[in-house]
């Protein structure tokens, strides 16, 4: 097992777990590659649109997108890439052993499926429209209200309060799934602001290689990015194959099983996305 019995108890009681050092270097390298490729495509698009004339290859990954975005006039970009990330590297990340081991411990089974909703968060400084408000993940896939769907969120750099670490509300998973509420300020689904006073936010400051794990009902939010660089992160989701939700199975797949014939190969998963163009999901 990756986790101790004490960690598993804490996850069950609190609805979340800060699992330090559980994301392997291989998983981090895959995430780096996926997001660097996405960044390159986004900057190339701004070049093609004539918004910039210099792709700033001289800058590091943390600051390059920020500087180019400022030069381009702060255009909106895809704040939650998903379809745009689909490819062999994304498949490899979703089935990376350190992440599957973590999911197996927290879900209590080796029969694991990837949930088809996953996100990247290229969060630039000083952008209100990328600040995810208090929400529960199951507000985005309501068939998981009574089914355990595990979210694994991990940053690609150290995160603290000043550069947009996450906050969670301990024990909030024991409550209700709130009705869908469209947050007018950000455009995200979330918990009605009139309910926020009931939530006690705990900031989870993390290092590269840490994972923040939480249930589909755990209230959480991202703090503003007040740093000078992009806060890069990935959030992936897993569920037990035996209780896999329809929302999870639509673009998800069996990732680990004692019966190897049930595991979905890369080419099969990629074929699910053939009819969807980029920026549509």
The CATH number that applies at residue 104 is: 2.60.120.620
3-state SS record for 11-50: HHHHCEEEECCCCCHHHHHHHHHHHHHHHHHHHHHHHHCC
pLDDT above 90: residue 1? no
Tokens of 161: 């309060």
pLDDT in tens, 131-183: 899 999 999 999 999 999 999 999 999 999 999 999 999 998 888 898 888 88
Say if 44 falls within a structural domain. Answer: no
Say if 182 falls within a structural domain. Answer: yes
pLDDT at 268: 98
How remote is the C-alpha of 92 from its chain's centroid? 16
Q: What is the pTM of this model?
A: 0.96
Say if 70 falls within a structural domain. Answer: no
Residue ranges with strand state E in the chain: 16-19, 112-114, 119-120, 149-155, 166-168, 181-182, 189-190, 202-204, 211-214, 220-222, 233-240, 253-256
Say if 140 falls within a structural domain. Answer: yes
**What is the rounded radius of gyration, in angstroms, for the C-alpha atoms of the chain?**
18
Contact 50, 75 (CB under 8 A): no
Bridge partners of 159, per DSSP, are 206
- Quote the number of domains for the chain: 1
pLDDT above 90: residue 281? no
Q: Which domain holds residue 242?
A: 5-33+79-271
Say if 69 falls within a structural domain. Answer: no
pLDDT in tens, 79-122: 899 999 999 999 999 999 999 999 999 999 999 999 999 999 99
Strands 112-114 and 233-240: what pairing? antiparallel
Say if 46 falls within a structural domain. Answer: no
Residue 38 banded pLDDT, cuts 50, 70, 90: very high
As a whole number of angstroms, the distance between CA 105 and CA 36 comes to: 30
How remote is the C-alpha of 114 from its chain's centroid? 13
pLDDT at 196: 92
Maximum alpha-carbon separation in the chain: 56
Nearest to 65 by CA among 34, 35, 93: 35
Contact 177, 145 (CB under 8 A): yes
Say if 185 falls within a structural domain. Answer: yes
Say if 250 falls within a structural domain. Answer: yes
Contact 150, 230 (CB under 8 A): no
């Amino acid at each position: 097992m990756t986790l101790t019995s004490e960690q598993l108890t804490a996850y069950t009681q609190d609805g979340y777990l800060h699992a330090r050092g559980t994301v392997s270097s291989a998983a981090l390298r895959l995430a780096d590659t996926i997001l660097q490729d996405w960044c390159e495509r986004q900057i190339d698009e701004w070049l093609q649109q004539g918004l910039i004339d210099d792709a700033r290859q001289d800058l590091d990954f943390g600051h390059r997108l920020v500087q180019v975005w400022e030069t381009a006039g702060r255009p909106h970009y895809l704040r939650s890439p998903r379809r745009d990330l689909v490819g062999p590297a994304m498949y490899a990340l979703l089935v990376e052993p350190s992440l599957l081991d973590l999911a197996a411990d927290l879900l209590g089974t080796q029969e694991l499926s990837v949930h088809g909703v996953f996100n990247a968060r290229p969060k630039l400084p000083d952008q209100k429209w990328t600040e995810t408000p208090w929400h529960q993940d199951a507000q985005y896939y309501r068939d998981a209200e009574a089914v355990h769907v595990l979210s694994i969120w991990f940053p690609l750099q150290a995160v603290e309060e000043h550069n947009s670490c996450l906050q969670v509300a301990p024990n909030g998973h024991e409550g209700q799934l709130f009705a869908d509420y469209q947050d007018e300020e950000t455009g995200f689904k979330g918990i009605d602001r009139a309910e926020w006073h009931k939530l006690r936010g705990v900031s989870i400051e993390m290092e590269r290689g840490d994972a923040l794990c939480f249930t589909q009902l755990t209230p959480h939010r991202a703090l503003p990015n007040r740093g000078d660089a992009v806060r890069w992160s990935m959030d992936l989701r897993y569920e037990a194959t035996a209780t896999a939700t329809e929302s999870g199975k639509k673009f998800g797949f069996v990732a680990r099983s004692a019966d190897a014939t049930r595991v979905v190969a890369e080419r099969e998963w990629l074929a699910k996305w053939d009819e969807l163009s980029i920026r549509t999901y």
